Structure 1
């Protein structure tokens, strides 16, 4: 029998043995029945039973036992009522509407055949880095996983595309497998992530804030992966040999080849030299202008960025106009208030009379300045502006001018100018072709992702509305790459319905299961046990994250979120832990659920498309270093919580 099967069976035997030893069979309470239900659910899922229906079946059975202990006559009706109420509460949850839309966007992008062009362009752009193929694989996985959020699809596609390329280049099998599986799992962390939506709906945390908080931890984890690969390739080049020169070859268009050979291999001098006219080089001026426009796009983007930064840095600070206003409660009487141009407070004898009195006919007066006075007793109104009077500008700082340009802006400007000069000094016609490939593959996908995330994070749209925009963007991308046809749409709709049904049934089963667990008193028993240990918040955080890390070995992230999060979340208030921060730690921790045997689904996805000589044990061995990096990232996030909390605090608090 295979090792992973032995491991799974041993783990199930261990769970059942602990349950059998520590369960007080002679004095069973409802709370102990809840713990028994929890252990049986874990074992049943490990045996291969469908998670959603296992949760539902166990929940119904043990809910009936809970109701039966109170009133056996109506236990069946109460159990059926519970099923209906919990299913209806899931159906009316607006947050879950975004799940099918995001999934539909992912399947459309997947079928646009964008990943092959993206991988090739990144492979050429990063060719000079150590471990270039592995780095390009990680970057491609991160971008594509962010767009799709479907781990199986990303790992499978990269297994077909990048795995053979790395093996042909002499890459180590374990390093190649680890890069593909770890990079493919980033989609469950980096927004827009379905896992964050599931956690937000389970824990009652804003999905918008979760998206904002998970952005930088996801980038940090991807960055740690890339740093590990570069350092390993630098120290042990035989594990990741440099890309052969024949793999870096790019065929130039005829016009670019002429300019390179007769003028200069650099883009700007070559294009300027080509402006001598059709008679000298035989190149139309329109072609040179088109090539120059593409070449200047980085400079144009940098200029726009610097201009926007200067505008925001020197923008005048508005100052509210307070002339003529009197602080409430500070006026001494009618005369003072009139002189100040404001409303008068009631006299002291009227205040002592026990209420606010009606003003006398002459109680509100215009200041005696020779102007036209209001009729006695009329409410004071602002005088209408004259027809020829200019409109008053909004209140700004004292002189109405922009603030001085700060020193940090000049530093950024200088660094940007030096960087731009250096960039164009090495910007050859070959690099121009790579840049065009990036324009055709990387930037459309990046713009769609940023549009979806930006509309959510900056409050322009709800997650559901942004998901609808993303689904439309998937349509546009598929159409732009001429992949939008009836077959693609039909397959995307079918797979979306399948995935969405799975997630929603999981929610129904989880809702029934958690209700039965609470009815039996299992939650109360767990809380008493945790509180009896008198843990500090740090100790509780370490304990909970360790339990989640261990649970990631036999269970997937869906089971961990819907089964165990309702147990941990009620304890957060006692330890003064922010549910948002706890959710970010859980999301980072649950990366292990796809990388840890025996239920490491990413390994099985890759094994299904890898060559026959690649064994499952080699894939597992390649994933272990990346699991260690996940633990390091988890520690960094806990030590420096502002990595995840800074952006939500800036945007929403």
Structure 2
């Protein structure tokens, strides 16, 4: 069988099974079993493939995923996240567009830990948009920052999605997490600058309203009581990883323990909150492990059937410049993101894109960061980006799809600017990992 026939059989069967409604992980598992039967010699091939897949689940690099997820779930269910939102809101006072800034700052902290862009968008949309609408905010000032926080959350550590991508691509987890710090801060600056510019061009888009004045000592007390402890947990684990004091797995454990201690100190660590946190983290972890299992076996089938080698040879025969090929892969991710969820996209593209990126001479950590940004941008790309429809579902009834599309555009442009900067200056991503 020619390589393109093998690729069509494997990818086509996955797409067909997903189209008829089969869950992503099960669709990959079924397609992998079919491929093993065809390419690896029947039932013996299937048994060997399953053994190899289970072996991929024993990697120590997977440990941070459940711990980061547990950290985020505790942060949410105990109310620590709500306390931080409220404190940031009060600290900003009468600043024009105050609630938009709150959405970016507080939403990023929550989204980074939760690992689910769709869940974060649904939560922030239902929490913040009605409040901003009541205060007279125009749609682009209320909807846009929520859609934008995903791009920021996915690359600033700790990020469960970054850990999953690094595991699937078999690259250094700590290096990919650390690589996102500087680009993430730049993107945060772009978002804040965008909100500021929008309020300057149209002050009525986010009208100021009276808030209870807070003296300087009150602000300092609020900052150190409600914000510094929450942010401090994230800063400490990032610094420990950058300094090489702990591994990502140890950092995740310290982070989960730190949030537990904070919840206990603030007297919001209840049995109900812990039960919901563990169940939520367990549910996403099991899905992630199924994804890793499916990806490992899919990669082996691509290699065994000759599909990956044939595809790489075919792609490199075009003699496109490496940057042009990068843009082609970027465009493929943007298109897939209109119809598929992030983890599904990673499962489908990582086994193909990373070997191709290595052949083109790209640094795998740098390419991983580019891919993370592409995954998130694709979620908000009109007309079919999935987060756009999630936002439509939770926004007030008078919100139109056109308003959501227009609100997303400035924040998509911010993310694209960061991608352009990473292409022009790769050291923005590689400098911090190189210090370790």
Q: Which residue of 2 aligns with 1:95?
A: 61
Point out the more displaced range, 98-107 or 134-143: 134-143
Distance 1:135 1:532 in 2: 48
What are the Cα deviations for residues 285-334 of structure 1, in whole angstroms up to 9, with x where unaligned? xxxxxxxxxxxxxxxxxxxxxxxxxxxxxxxxxxxxxxxxxxxxxxxxxx
The Cα shift of 1:522 comes to: 1.2
Match of 1:541 among 304, 310, 326: 326
* Cα distance in 1 for residues equivalent to 2:159 and 2:299: 24
* Structure 1: distance between partners of 2:86 and 2:372: 30
Is the 1:603–1:619 contact (alpha carbons within 8 Å) kept by the matching residues of 2? yes
Q: Is the 8 A contact 1:603 1:620 kept in 2?
A: yes
Structure 2 residue aligned with 1:360: none
Distance 2:346 2:194 in 1: 29
1:437 and 2:222 correspond: yes
Query: Relative to 1, partners in 2 of residues 1:453 and 1:599: Cα closer, same or farther, differing over 3 Å?
Result: farther
- Kept after mapping to 2: 8 A contact 1:130/1:240: yes
Q: Which residue of 2 aligns with 1:506?
A: 291
Aligned to 1:529: 314
User: Displacement, 1:162?
Assistant: 2.0
**Which residue pairs with 1:462 in the alignment?**
247
Which stretch shifts more, 474-483 or 116-125? 116-125
Query: Partners of 1:545 and 1:532 in 2: how far apart?
Result: 19
Bigger fraction of residues in helix: 2
Deviation at 1:185, TM superposition (A): 4.7
Kindly state the Cα deviation for residue 581 of structure 1 after the two structures are TM-superposed. 0.9
Trace 1:19-34 onto structure 2 (pairs within 5 A).
29-34=2-7
How many residue pairs are counted as aligned between the two chains?
436
Shift of 1:492: 1.0
TM-score by length of 1: 0.63
Aligned mate of 2:145, from 176, 179, 187: 179
After TM superposition, give the deviation of residue 197 of structure 1 in Å.
Answer: 0.9
Answer whether contact 2:191 2:411 (CA < 8 A) is retained: yes
For the structure 1 residues 167 and 482, does the alpha-carbon distance in structure 2 shift closer, same or farther, using more than 3 Å as the test?
same
Q: Describe the shift of the 1:82–1:456 C-alpha distance in structure 2 as closer, same or farther (beyond 3 A).
A: same
Structure 1 residue runs of 4+, over 6 Å off?
A: none
Residues 147 and 192 in structure 1, CA contact (< 8 A), matched pair in contact too = yes
Q: In the alignment, which residue of structure 1 is the partner of 2:209?
A: 244
Aligned to 1:45: 18
Taking only aligned residues, the RMSD between alpha carbons, in angstroms, comes to 2.1
1:219 aligns with one of 185, 210, 213? 185
The match for 2:416 is: 631
Instruction: Confirm or deny: 8 A CA contact 1:109 1:477 kept in the other structure.
Output: no
Q: Show CA shifts across 1:157-209 (max 9, x none).
A: 32233212211121112331121122145322211111211121122211111
Output one character per residue of 1:573-595: Cα deviation in whole Å (capped at 9) or x when no partner. 33221111111111122212432
CA distance in 2, matches of 1:147, 1:518: 34
Q: Residue 121 of structure 1 aligns to a residue in which SS?
A: helix
After the TM superposition, which of the residue ranges 555-564 and 28-37 deviates more from structure 2? 28-37
Q: Is the 8 A contact 2:175 2:433 kept in 1?
A: yes
1:500 positional shift: 0.4
Offset at 1:599?
A: 6.1
1:268-307 alignment runs, 5 A limit: none
Q: Secondary structure at the match of 1:573?
A: helix
Distance 1:522 1:184 in 2: 33
SS in 1 for 2:68: helix
Which of 30, 35, 44 is the equivalent residue of 2:8? 35
CA distance in 2 between partners of 1:42 and 1:625 (Å) = 32
Q: Which moved more, 1:631-640 or 1:555-564?
A: 555-564
**Superposition pairs of residues 381-400 of structure 1, within 5 angstroms:** none
Matches within 5 A, 1:408-447: 430-447=215-232
Deviations 1:345-390 (A, max 9, x none): xxxxxxxxxxxxxxxxxxxxxxxxxxxxxxxxxxxxxxxxxxxxxx
Shift in Å, 1:94 = 0.7
1:496 to 264, 281, 305: 281
Cα separation, 2, equivalents of 1:516 and 1:589: 26
Question: Does residue 109 of structure 2 align to residue 143 of structure 1?
Answer: yes
Correspondence for 1:13: none
The structure 2 residue matched to 1:60, chosen from 23, 33, 38, is 33
Residues 514-549 of structure 1 deviation map (CA, whole Å, 9 limit, x = unaligned): 222222221122112112111222222222222222
C-alpha distance in 2 between matches for 1:80 and 1:621: 51
The reply to whether residue 614 of structure 1 matches residue 399 of structure 2 is yes
1:430 to partner: Cα distance: 1.9
Do 1:198 and 1:561's aligned partners in 2 also have CA atoms closer than 8 Å? Answer: no
**CA contact 2:335–2:378 (8 Å) conserved in 1:** no
Give 1 or 2 for the bigger CA radius of gyration: 1
Structure 1: give runs of 5+ residues left out of the alignment.
Answer: 1-27, 69-74, 251-428
Give secondary structure in 1 for the equivalent of 2:40: helix
**Separation of aligned partners in 2, 1:189 and 1:77:** 41
What is residue 124 of structure 2 aligned with on the other side? 158
Structure 2 residue aligned with 1:487:
272
1:535/1:152 CA distance change after superposition, 3 Å:
closer
Q: Give the C-alpha shift of residue 49 in structure 1.
A: 2.5
**1:187 & 1:631 partners in 2: Cα distance?**
15
Secondary structure of the corresponding residue to residue 482 of structure 1: coil
How many angstroms does 1:30 deviate by? 4.9
Which residue number corresponds to residue 566 of structure 1? 351
| TM-score between the two structures when normalised by the length of structure 2 | 0.93
Unaligned runs of 5+ in 2: none
Distance in 1, Cα, partners of 2:205 & 2:12: 43
CA distance in 2, matches of 1:103, 1:448: 14
